[in-house]
Structure 1
Amino acid sequence: MPPLMDRTSELIPTAQGDLVKTPLAHLIVFIADKKLTGSLVLHGDDGSTSTLYFSTGAPAKVKTTYPGTYLGRVLLQLGYIDDELLESTVLEMQQTGTLHGQLLRSMGAIDEAQLVAGLREQMMRRILKIFEKVGDVTTYAFYGDINLLDDFGGRELTPMDPYRVVWEGMHVRPNDPSIDPTLARLAAAPIGINTNADFRRFGFGPPEGKVIELLALRPMSVAQVLDLNIMPIRQLKLLLYVLMITRGIVVVPVQTSAPARKPQASEPAVVAPNAPPDSSRTGSEAAQASRQAVPMARVKLKKVAASSTVTPMALSPQDIQQRASQVDAESYFEVLGVDQNASPDVVRSAYFSLAKQWHPDRLPDSYHEVRDDAAKVFARMSDAFQTLSDPDKRAQYVEALEKGGTNKDEQAKVQQVIEATIEYQKAEVYLRKHDLGKALRSAQKAYEGDPEQSHHLALYAWVLSQQPEAQQSKDFETSLRLLDQAIKLDARCEQAFFYRAMLNKQLGKHASALRDFKQVVELNPRNIEASREVRLATMRGGAKALADEKPTSSERTKTKPGASESINWTQDSVSDIFGKLFKKK
């Protein structure tokens, strides 16, 4: 009997439609939110077929007719096997019919964790290819509680967070026609973050974290967000689009000056702050918004009143410095000003009140000398919130307190990682300004302060190679070695592959450079420079050279199991700086 996926004509789909009415990202979010189990089949007008099996809302297995990277090549790129083993086992696989991953496992060439990491990386690449290739005329059918891929590949399932899949998938569709119309529905309405959303699931980086942090401080319209100049406009639109369809952002009711309802006898009389009227609303809608705004204002005022914290602007610079010098000695409960039995809602309320007061961007210009001190206090508050709002982390923290306090070394590492991230950002700025001396000093501090961050290491290697003496002698040996290490830390580090390609190009190692440029394009099809290099090399016959040349020993980097899971919001907190410190161990 043919495999089940070849007999879909015999099955009745639970739901069906096309991607014009329901874009792929929306489909995945819907399946995730409903925690559905079943198979999603996509049929393209080009004759392509892609099948995604979901287990309790998470994509766990994928098959597509689009060309992609087979498992052995993925394991090679991850550094788990070398070329010779790849070539020999491909022959044996063809002769015996054994699946490549199973063959390598039976030989002891890879362990179970490496196999799962390879399968997960291969699955993500397949999904990204589907996102890249599907068009509006693609049709879909969902078959509930049926695994059409049960007979495909091995028995292993590698579930991935669907929100992470949507975020990475939409990166290959930055000009998707559904983005602008979706955002247009928000018009000029103020938006803020959904405090119940778990932003760690997306795998956001520091720029996205900064946008979310600012939205947590104050609601903004889409136009105001696009004016932040933190990321390119298209990237900001992409972020808002993904947050909107996953309900990570919400429309904040506008408070108006319309007459408010009378408070009940049991309620204190509170007058909502005046705000400009929303001209897009009718009189009845404005009145309704005003009625809704009064109790919201009352709750907010109560929360603020409950906090005894003094805003930094009411303190002298010396007071801020003193607070910064003492904050590491305080428990997380003391930092947020809550008792040890405080509920998650109280913790959240305290944190957001403090964030509005202590965020460094809210300091007056005259306080520039103590901005880093305020940032230290704010970082400690963010650490406290991330720990106390997570039940498991909170339990571990309370247990540590009861045993006599938290690890002072970990507290020191908090500050070290924060400072490393600040130096990394400085290095990027100096590099853009072509101030190579300052860029090198900051990049080196970032790398030494947090050597586990692959992008810190990659930037340091690149800045080192751009120094005049290195450029004159073309001595890139140290930089190439550091870039190899960065890829070993994170096999999806786009920066490291790109920088290594650029250096190999300078050295005349065109095949090696082309191999890395192709990897960059596979990781990020929007990298214009890498795409151009691949296109030009192919036109000049570079593709043949790439096929003929085997990787050098320095390119056969060995990655630790799970290294492809870089520091991101699947594990991290609101900022790439802080969540890393509180990963479950």
Structure 2
Amino acid sequence: MQEKWGTLNDIGFPRLLHNIFAARDSASLLDMENGKVKKRFFFKTGIPVYGISNILSEVLGRLMVRKGIISQEVYEKSLETMLHEKKKQGEVLLAAGHITPHQLNDALNIQTKERLFSAFAWVNGTYHYYTIEKLPKDLFLYPVHPGYVILHALKNGYYPAERMKTEIEEKQGQIIAFAHKTIYALDDFQPNPPERRALTMIDGKRNLVDILAEIETRLSIPRADIYPFLCALLATDVLILQEGGKEKKPEGPSSEDKTLIEELTGKYLKLKSLNYFEILGIGWDAGNGSIKKAYFKLAKEYHPDRYHNNAQEVKTAASDIFTLINTAYTTLSNEKTRRAYEESLKSGVKQDVTQDAANIMNAELQFQKGKVALSRKDYKSARESFEWTVRLNPDEGEYKTYMGWTIFNLSPKDAAEVKKAKELIQDGIAANPKQDKAYYFLGVIHRVEGRLEEAESCFNKAVEKNPNIPEALSELRLIQMRKQKEGKGFFKKIFKE
């Protein structure tokens, strides 16, 4: 398959995986981006074999804690060993006897699957597919058949249910049949027995709505339960839909316009990843004459007016490109804005998902270092480590929480620092509301400030998140004892009067 840029909204991840599998390129990469989240998947002959991401919950150690393979304590100790011995987490856990080779193998396999599964939830987002000469040697390859990935991601709720329902229901009047040729075997999908039985209902003569009704009545399979299976087989061209009766007039853009939309969207996404010099195809030393010449050449090709006879979607795609070109031109043709832009390029670091993934792991290592310093009440060292974690991974709420707590412990009587500490913890909660420790830390700060009602509320929230958090439970007991003591004192005062 040729190098391709596109949006997931147009194609959907199931179809994209199928197209890659159908191409059977010997070695290839798929880069995906959705807001700040990035993923990269490696493919061997069209089959996904490895994945990386900048999502903290997908780090191997955290995944093993979540799956009950190791404890949180073991995970944190392994990070400390990684810091000192410069080893990978799997190696550290194996050497310490915390896991078996079989458990490591299973965890790495689950990690690859989960990174793939979570990408199915991306309705928006962009992708870039391209071939490479060969896969890197240091990868632990875990092949997962795309048929299996597609079906089980759909069945387990990773793909938007409404989108799946719409994809089925808008085609109910069409005849459903098996394709004459397919690149899949049924076992590639690993369907369950009811799904296999449902296929016996398809005869290539009846429309989808009739087949769904028969599956529901004769096999007692609810429609919602069979939708993922049918969607998976339709996305992979194992099943096809044909018009029955009168030929339906095509809706939306023509096939020519659809091709044009795809080409223009790909061009836009490619340009979007470039700097302004690269967009215009000029060097850093280009003068105003060269800038203007490059601009007019591109503007002539991508001005929306050129596509006035095409569908609105074509004009919109062209307009997006033209806006990028125009912004590049106006920035570089002005001496002041060009100088400022050049400085921003020199100071900025363009990172791909590989560097992001490294930052995530390095942030985890610094986080563990900070927690060790915090346990020793070395608040200065803890702050230095937590500052690094926030710098390396600014989107992780837990890091901000511990940063705030450390600042409070460093300067509990400095009003400005205490305010900063509370703001950081609140930011941490906003980013990750599941943190029991965040509410506990905030509760302690409120207690020290004499805000007992706010403190009690925070401790209760900490217990809601984790019923076994000892620190918060202890604080709540002390608050209750204080209330009882104050109550007794109140009644004594009344009787004396």
Give the TM-score taking structure 2 as reference length: 0.44
Which entry has the higher C-alpha Rg, 1 or 2?
2
